[in-house]
Amino acid sequence: MAEERSGEDIVSEYLGQNPHLAQWVESFRGYSESNKQWSARREFILRNMEAFPTMEPGVPSSSLDRLLSLSMVWANNVFLGCSYPQAVMDKIKEMGEGIVVEDAPIHKTTKELFAKGKQGEDGCTKRGRTAWQKSGPLPQAPLEHQPFFNRLYKAVAWKLVSAGGFGPNLDHFEILRSCVESCKETVTCVFVPLKDIQGLPAGRTQKEGHVCEIRCRTVYMGTGYGRDESAAKAMASKEALKVFQGRKVTVKICRRRFKGRDVDDLVLFDEQPRSQGFPPAISYPFEDEKLEQAS
């Protein structure tokens, strides 16, 4: 009886027989994808190419964009436990049928984790949450947020490639918003009149205009200044997208100024060295100001 071959063996044989496809398909690999993740997603792409007959190797198309997007959704579900609308889940389940991922991670829903942590811990959970709000991000917060921003990095990178690269003529906020929402989150924009901000950079001595600070999942991404809220948001979005120009992004805890005092804040970094500090924070999601004022 012939030994059953793995999906990876079949893919390798197929690419060996079709060398013109090998380099083209390899170009779709994400920078941070492990060999295991890429091997599985590559098999997903190759298994479903026939369902997109208008797609041609080396030629950009909406069919290719859709297949690659579905492959990322499938991989995010398998390896990161991401969930999507039921129609999308049904689609990727059908497209991924027959692909075997050895030692695939087991994911628990938020409801399951919450139920487990709640057993006998209700009082401690409430006290712990209040402590977080008043004292800043927990030490493990960067690790908790990193998987999401790894996914967002891939979404932004692909969006910028589709748009022809990072440039001044892009709608930076729309790109950021659509990528964040594709990862099932939302962008938070906070606006403050420029005259109300203390500790501005030396070049910002004028008092007219607005400041916009952009965050996602409480993580600081960028600050922008403009004559009105729309212009400030555009500049903040541009600054936020600049962080995605490197090979990866990293969430770290840093010290920033907020209302005249130093606080710990979650900040999204690229690999470029910073020659100056951060602008002062205009929002601080780790502090419950009502509780503080009441005390």
Query: What is the per-residue pLDDT for 13?
Result: 67
Query: What are 60-117's pLDDT values in tens digits?
Result: 777 787 888 888 888 888 887 777 778 888 888 898 888 888 776 665 544 444 454 4
Q: What is the mean pLDDT of residues 170-188?
A: 90
pLDDT band of 154, cuts 50, 70, 90? very high
**Higher per-residue confidence, 213 vs 123:** 213
| Average model confidence (pLDDT) across the chain | 77
Please check the confidence at residue 219 and state whether its pLDDT lies above 80.
Answer: yes
Please check the confidence at residue 274 and state whether its pLDDT lies above 70.
Answer: no
Q: Beta strand 250-258 with 219-226: parallel, antiparallel or unpaired? A: unpaired
pTM of the model: 0.53
Q: What is the mean pLDDT of residues 121-130?
A: 38
Beta bridge partners of 252: 267
- Comparing C-alpha atoms, which of 236, 247, 237, 238 is closest to residue 269? 247
Query: What are 132-151's pLDDT values in tens digits?
Result: 334 688 888 899 999 999 99
| Strand ranges across the sheet with 188-193 | 188-193, 210-216, 219-226, 261-269, 250-258
Query: What are 186-218's pLDDT values in tens digits?
Result: 898 988 888 776 655 555 455 678 899 999 999
Please check the confidence at residue 171 and state whether its pLDDT lies above 80.
Answer: yes
- CA 233, 239, 240, 242 torsion-angle sign: positive
Query: What is the per-residue pLDDT for 111?
Result: 47
Q: How far apart are CA 172 and CA 190, in angstroms?
A: 17
Query: What is the per-residue pLDDT for 163?
Result: 83
Q: Beta strand 188-193 with 210-216: parallel, antiparallel or unpaired? A: antiparallel
Query: What are 245-254's pLDDT values in tens digits?
Result: 888 899 999 9
pLDDT band of 294, cuts 50, 70, 90? very low
